[in-house]
Chain A
């Protein structure tokens, strides 16, 4: 399978715990994006990387959120001190050099109890 992969697919955690999600983009895609999608809404942009550089962060990305892409390949998204409002689907997408189509992974569904 050469698509975008995300791990885990589902995560249930208690309020106040830290969680980390992983995204593996399509190989040779240098851009990687994180989005958040709540029920009945469209995805909302969180942040994106070009290679290992984080080029843009949304205001939605509070101080409790941090994303990394240390070697320009996979990326991690960490949420510290989770809150119930963090419950959502976290989507990762990647695109080839020069932009164009963003290919989405299956998402990680986070439930904060």
Chain B
């Protein structure tokens, strides 16, 4: 079966660092994605990992350990606008299957306080 787990809610202070964890158990694995979703809006792509290790993109970094079925999203220098839900998603099959279908976790709602 498919299972992607994330904490439901997190809070942090402006300027701080926060780490959002994601564990997954899926029938296949061909990449892990992080999306940001502000309330009532469309999810927007943040990062992609397919090999073990850390990918850094500005204030955001994402880490993957395939052997542990684990990923985290690290947000640095938090800003008020970072208050949003962060969705972890797994692509189970290779792109040669003609699908980029993603299986999503329920998301982590992050609140940033001044």
> Is A bound to B?
no
Chain A residues with a Cβ under 8 A of chain B: none
